């Protein structure tokens, strides 16, 4: 990873219309890992998070409670700040859009854009979606409803102020094309490029006060407040000091990473980047839009009553275990489904069994065979010594490369390979047998040193993910507080373990979580549910029959509902050299917006068929019979058009 002197990372600022949930925790924990990692590398870090407090959603939430918006915001902000504390988040700043420093910067931004003739007044007639706070054109709305949230829209005609966003369409497109890592992951980059293929309109950046008063007043027209999205996006420059503290601003800007969820990709990739262009400011280096958490396959929302409270999970299962789970379970750009069973399994297998066991058995060995002290450094010649040394020595570079790509789960997987290798090493070396043979004393010392040194390196590299557990590991290994030390790379070189330090075996790092045993009847019921009447296997085919099918990787570039066909969606799928139009019976399971950017498997040489008057040029693979259970997709990113065997 290149080592800039400064590393500025942001999360979205969260709406205070409701309490935080697992999705908010996800982005914030991911940003925290990167911030901590960069501090360990010796970089100067600014890690910003905060709350988005203006606009209709917050005003409505306050009205419902019969209190003033700011009183409402003050209460909810506390729950976001508490969550940061609970999850051990190391943010350097927390910005609220109701703070004076932010309001001043928004006013300065509006003034600059106005003076640069980037804002104009016009009367606009369109369809307004109140929950989303945005206008749609006649063409965009679907059956009188918002194409985004599917709630009814209302016709509105009013004078407003517009930012000349359309003017920057080509410049933005070119920037994305020239800078491969600018929008990540690749699927999201393609999604934005697809969006920019259509004409980019201007952006309405005002709301008349008679309709919405809870916002920052436009400096050039006191009858209007600023559109909440423009207000919110400006937080990324108001916190480091734009328009107020030039030295600080220039020190931190441009940001290295804006981390967001995929729901707010367009507002960041298009609204924000064009605003920066209009202000003449450099663009952030990377915008990463991660995937979406669902609960048992369903969208989480207050109205469904299925919101997962992150503070409860952290309290029940442990902060570090929860942080580990979030980043290990799902590749960062992909969607994930939350379930407590999966969380518990992950904790028991990776944390209690793998890392917990490794530490506890190593400490026991040191107590028994090394007078409770860290062993002397010895060079081992056995192939297994060298294998473990190489794996541990190479670990920093691998983790570094994965974190550069924000591939948290891959970084953790690499660390766990070393942990598993160290456990196998102990089993193979059987130090308890070596201890019985006086002639094997030196071999025993070698085994102790190799194991302890591997764990020491592991403890350094898990620090950003699980700061408390890493500190406790270091403490038990007799090392002083490793987590606060910089020079991570140097600390991860083999052979740095100081000899003769007293170790202090303590409480178990990650106690095993007892799972309630299901009764036989429950077990049978759940097995029956899972395997309910599977369809009989069809007659055998030959390998030649199978080879006739041309299965390809496709990326969904566009998806829309088909009028009068409840179960069907019309998809535009990119299969490398060509685009296929496919009619798929998956509308009961997926909303069109869930599919954009998804990598799917298609049968590319299926005879085209006409469905509801539309030609379908291929078929998607999915689990399930008449009822679709899940689309077949990939664990890793794969290029469109790749063949599948
Ligand atoms: O959009 N899965 O705020 P917000 C994964 N104020 N991430 C999730 C998630 C889920 N189910 N739910 C929420 C806003 N998130 C604006 C942002 S920024 C200038 C203004 C995370 O409270 C994810 O990061 O709705 C998502 O982008 C963000 O919370 C939306 O938070």
Domain closes at, from 290, 312, 327: 290
386 and 285 in one domain? no
Atom in ligand 1 nearest the alpha carbon of residue 233: 19
- 3-state SS string over 212-253? CCCCCEECCEEEEEECHHHHHHCHHHHCCCCCCCHHHHHHHC
58 and 120 in one domain? yes
Residue 569's CATH number = 2.40.50.140
390 and 268 in one domain? no
357 and 274 in one domain? no
Query: Structure pTM?
Result: 0.80
Looking at residue 156, its pLDDT comes to 87
Looking at residue 522, its pLDDT comes to 59
465 and 552 in one domain? no
Q: How far is CA 187 from CA 1, 456, 596, in A?
A: 23, 37, 8
Percentages (nearest 5) of helix, strand, coil residues in the chain: 45, 20, 35
**Is residue 270 in a domain?**
yes
For residue 201, how far is its CA from the centre of ligand 1 (angstroms)?
A: 25
For residue 72, how far is its CA from the centre of ligand 1 (angstroms)?
A: 19
DSSP 404-430: HTT-HHHHHHHHHHHHHHHHHHHHHH-
**Is residue 505 in a domain?**
no
For residue 68, how far is its CA from the centre of ligand 1 (angstroms)?
A: 24
Which residue stretches of 42-183 are H helix?
Answer: 56-65, 69-86, 100-115, 169-178
**Is residue 348 in a domain?**
yes
Looking at residue 481, its pLDDT comes to 63
159 and 242 in one domain? yes
Q: How far is CA 628 from CA 197, 446, 589, 599, in A?
A: 32, 56, 7, 17
Residue 458's CATH number = 1.10.730.10
Q: Using 50 as the pLDDT threshold, list the residues of the chain that sit under it.
A: 1-3, 526-528, 530-531
**Is residue 311 in a domain?**
no
Ligand 1: residues with CB < 6 A are 12-15, 23-24, 26-27, 52, 232-233, 235, 260-261, 263-264, 292-293, 300
271 and 157 in one domain? yes
Domain closes at, from 470, 491, 512: 491
**Is residue 406 in a domain?**
yes
133 and 252 in one domain? yes
Residue 125's CATH number = 3.40.50.620
What does the pLDDT look like over 371-385, one tens digit per residue? 999 999 999 999 999
Number of domain units in the chain: 3
Tokens of 371: 């007078």
For residue 462, how far is its CA from the centre of ligand 1 (angstroms)?
A: 26
CA-proximal residue: ligand 1, atom 27 (nearest): 261
Cα gap 592→585, rounded to integer Å: 12
Mutating to test ligand 1, I would choose from 28, 109, 263, 295 the residue with most ligand atoms within 8 A of its C-beta, which is: 263
For residue 148, how far is its CA from the centre of ligand 1 (angstroms)?
A: 15
Looking at residue 208, its pLDDT comes to 94
**Is residue 351 in a domain?**
yes
What does the pLDDT look like over 583-594, one tens digit per residue? 999 988 877 767
462 and 380 in one domain? yes
Which residue stretches of 96-233 are H helix?
Answer: 100-115, 169-178, 186-197, 228-233
Looking at residue 3, its pLDDT comes to 44
Looking at residue 556, its pLDDT comes to 80
Looking at residue 590, its pLDDT comes to 79
Rg for the chain, CA atoms, rounded: 28
346 and 217 in one domain? no
Peptide bond into 254 cis (omega under 30): yes
Atom in ligand 1 nearest the alpha carbon of residue 12: 18
392 and 479 in one domain? yes
- Name the residue range of residue 95's domain: 6-290
Looking at residue 636, its pLDDT comes to 66
Looking at residue 22, its pLDDT comes to 95
**Is residue 175 in a domain?**
yes
3-state secondary structure of 137: coil
187 with 597: CB under 8 angstroms? yes
Looking at residue 531, its pLDDT comes to 44
Domain closes at, from 234, 269, 290: 290
584 and 481 in one domain? no
**Is residue 330 in a domain?**
no
CA-proximal residue: ligand 1, atom 29 (nearest): 24
Mutating to test ligand 1, I would choose from 16, 23, 294, 337 the residue with most ligand atoms within 8 A of its C-beta, which is: 23
Q: Are strands 221-226 and 217-218 parallel, antiparallel or unpaired?
A: antiparallel
Looking at residue 2, its pLDDT comes to 43
């Amino acid at each position: 990873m290149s080592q800039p002197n400064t590393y500025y990372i942001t999360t979205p600022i969260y709406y205070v219309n409701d309490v935080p949930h697992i999705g908010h925790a996800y982005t914030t924990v991911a940003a925290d890992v990167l911030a901590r990692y960069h501090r360990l590398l010796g970089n100067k870090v600014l890690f910003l998070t905060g709350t988005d407090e203006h606009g209709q959603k917050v005003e409505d939430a306050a009205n419902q409670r019969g209190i003033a918006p700011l009183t409402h915001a003050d209460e909810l902000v506390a729950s976001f700040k508490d969550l940061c504390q609970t999850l051990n988040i190391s943010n350097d700043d927390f910005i609220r859009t109701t703070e004076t420093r932010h309001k001043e910067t928004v006013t300065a931004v509006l003034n600059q854009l106005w003076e640069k003739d980037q804002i104009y007044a016009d009367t606009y007639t369109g369809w307004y979606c109140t929950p989303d706070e945005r206008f749609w054109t006649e063409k965009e709305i679907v059956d009188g409803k918002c194409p985004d949230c599917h709630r009814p829209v209302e016709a509105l005609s009013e004078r407003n102020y517009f930012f000349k966003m359309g003017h920057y369409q080509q410049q933005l497109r070119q920037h994305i094309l020239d800078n491969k890592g600018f929008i990540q992951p690749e699927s999201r980059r393609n999604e934005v490029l697809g969006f920019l293929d259509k004409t980019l309109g201007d952006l309405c950046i005002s709301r008349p006060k008679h309709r919405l008063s809870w916002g920052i007043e436009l400096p050039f027209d006191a009858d209007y407040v600023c559109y909440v999205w423009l207000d919110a996006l400006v937080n990324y420059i108001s916190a480091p000091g734009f328009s107020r503290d030039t030295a600080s601003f220039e020190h931190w800007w441009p940001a290295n990473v804006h981390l967001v969820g995929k729901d707010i990709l367009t507002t960041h990739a298009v609204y924000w980047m064009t605003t920066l262009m209009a202000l003449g400011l450099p663009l952030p280096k990377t915008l990463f839009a991660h995937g979406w958490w669902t609960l048992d396959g369903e969208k989480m929302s207050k109205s469904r009553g299925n919101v997962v409270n992150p503070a409860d999970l952290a309290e029940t299962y442990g902060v570090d275990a929860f942080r580990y789970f979030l980043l290990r379970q799902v590749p960062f750009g992909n969607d994930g489904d939350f379930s407590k069973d999966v969380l518990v399994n992950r904790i028991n297998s990776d944390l209690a069994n793998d890392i917990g066991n490794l530490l506890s058995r190593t400490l026991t060995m040191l107590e028994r065979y090394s007078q409770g002290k860290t062993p002397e450094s010895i060079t081992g010649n056995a192939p297994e010594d060298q294998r473990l040394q190489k794996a541990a020595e190479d670990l920093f570079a691998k983790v570094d490369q994965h974190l550069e790509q924000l591939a948290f789960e891959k970084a953790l997987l690499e660390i766990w390979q070393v942990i598993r290798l160290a456990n196998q090493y102990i089993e193979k070396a059987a130090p308890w047998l070596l201890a019985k043979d006086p002639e094997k004393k030196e071999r025993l010392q070698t085994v102790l040193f190799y194991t302890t040194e591997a764990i020491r390196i592991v403890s350094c590299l898990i620090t950003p993910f699980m700061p408390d557990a890493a500190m406790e590991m270091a403490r038990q290994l007799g090392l002083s507080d490793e987590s606060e030390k910089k020079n991570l790379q140097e600390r991860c070189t083999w052979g740095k373990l100081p000899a003769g330090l007293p170790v202090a075996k303590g409480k178990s790092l990650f106690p095993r979580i007892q799972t309630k045993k299901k009764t036989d009847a429950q077990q049978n019921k759940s097995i029956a549910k899972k395997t309910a009447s599977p369809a009989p296997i069809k007659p055998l085919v030959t390998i030649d029959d199978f080879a006739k099918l041309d299965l390809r990787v496709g990326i969904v570039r566009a998806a829309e509902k088909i009028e009068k066909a409840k179960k069907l969606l019309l998809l535009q799928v990119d299969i490398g050299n060509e685009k296929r139009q496919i009619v798929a019976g998956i509308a009961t399971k997926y909303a069109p917006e869930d599919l954009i950017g998804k990598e799917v498997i298609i049968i590319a040489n299926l005879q085209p068929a006409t469905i509801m008057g539309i030609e379908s040029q291929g078929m998607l693979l999915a689990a399930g019979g008449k009822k679709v259970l899940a689309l077949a997709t990939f664990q890793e990113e794969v290029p469109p058009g790749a063949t599948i065997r």
